[in-house]
Amino acid sequence: MKPMSNHPRQGMRLMHVHAHPDDESSKGAATTAKYVAEGVDVHVATCTGGERGSILNPKMDRPGILENIHEIRRQEMERARDILGITQDWLGFVDSGWPEGDPKPPLPEGCFALVPLEEAIVPLVRLIRSFRPHVMTTYDERGGYPHPDHIMCHRVSMAAFEAAADPERFPELGEPWQILKVYYHHSFNRPKTQALHDAMLAHGLESPYAERLAGWKPEPDWDARITTRVPCSEYFGVRDQALLAHATQIDPDGSWFAIPRELQEKVWPTEDYELVTSAVESTLPEDDLFAGIDEAGSPGE
């Protein structure tokens, strides 16, 4: 969907920093679609190519597919990008994979999670200074879940956020740019999961979350970190189409689609975030990632 040229949010820019192709569709994609429809320029920075991702959709598990997985995942990303109406850049790092075993094996040499931080932030600093986002989203210090690339994505995002605004750092990468607000995704928070689980049971349906909730220790202080709930249920369909574009990673018969969309829209019509830092005034809790920026007239331009 192309933004309206006279929309009051024309000129606003939002950057999402993600670890792998498909993360942009599984975390905050309905928010993305909402802002694209409102005229916001949304750009995704994808840290790795997802080269070490497994084939998680049985229908796509064909002989030899892993030999070409890098190109396949780039093509999937292109389809998702078109569905969401975004632009996107690859930061060029190599997927670290998910270490399995006890003890866990060392990470592969040269992978994203092992790149020195000062080196790893360079492409993102360059991108921030060229795209000049007003708002950036990334993962919390746990990575959302403890994949080494997600944790590294957090570290790189926050270090690049600081460096991009500092005129003494990396002057060769462009003019400094101060991002006004930074958020962490809280996509898979426990209250949301519990609410959807309870709703499924109340409707006599089998919940895909029973096992997950049984082993999920309540952390009320962690859940209280959510500051911002963006209403975006009318874009859940766009989110789902973007997810399905990542055909090697998303099983259409799996847990991603086990909750009827009508139930999701009724029970939890928002995507949830934590405001980490802000250079503008806004009142918490929020329902808009751009709260305080519209009123401030896009400072920094």
Is 23 annotated in a binding site? The answer is: yes
Q: How far is CA 125 from the centre of its chain?
A: 18
Mapping DSSP to helix (H, G, I), strand (E, B) and coil, where does residue 244 land?
Answer: helix
111 close to 273: Cβ distance less than 8 angstroms: no
Q: Which amino acid is at 171?
A: P
Which residue, 35, 38, 31, 33, is CA-closest to 5?
38
Calpha distance 201→197 (Å, rounded) = 6
Helix and strand counts by DSSP (H, E) for the chain: 12, 7
Q: Measured between alpha carbons, how far apart are the two ends of the chain, in Å?
A: 25
The alpha-helical segments, DSSP class H, found in 21-121 are 23-26, 29-37, 69-84, 117-120
Beta strands in the chain (DSSP E): 13-18, 41-48, 87-93, 135-138, 181-185, 228-231, 270-278
Instruction: Name the one residue in this structure whose structure tokens are 């750009």.
Output: 43
Calpha distance 217→230 (Å, rounded) = 26
Is 251 annotated in a binding site? The answer is: no
Is 246 annotated in a binding site? The answer is: no
Annotated binding-site positions for Zn(2+): 20, 23, 150
Annotated binding-site positions: 20, 23, 150
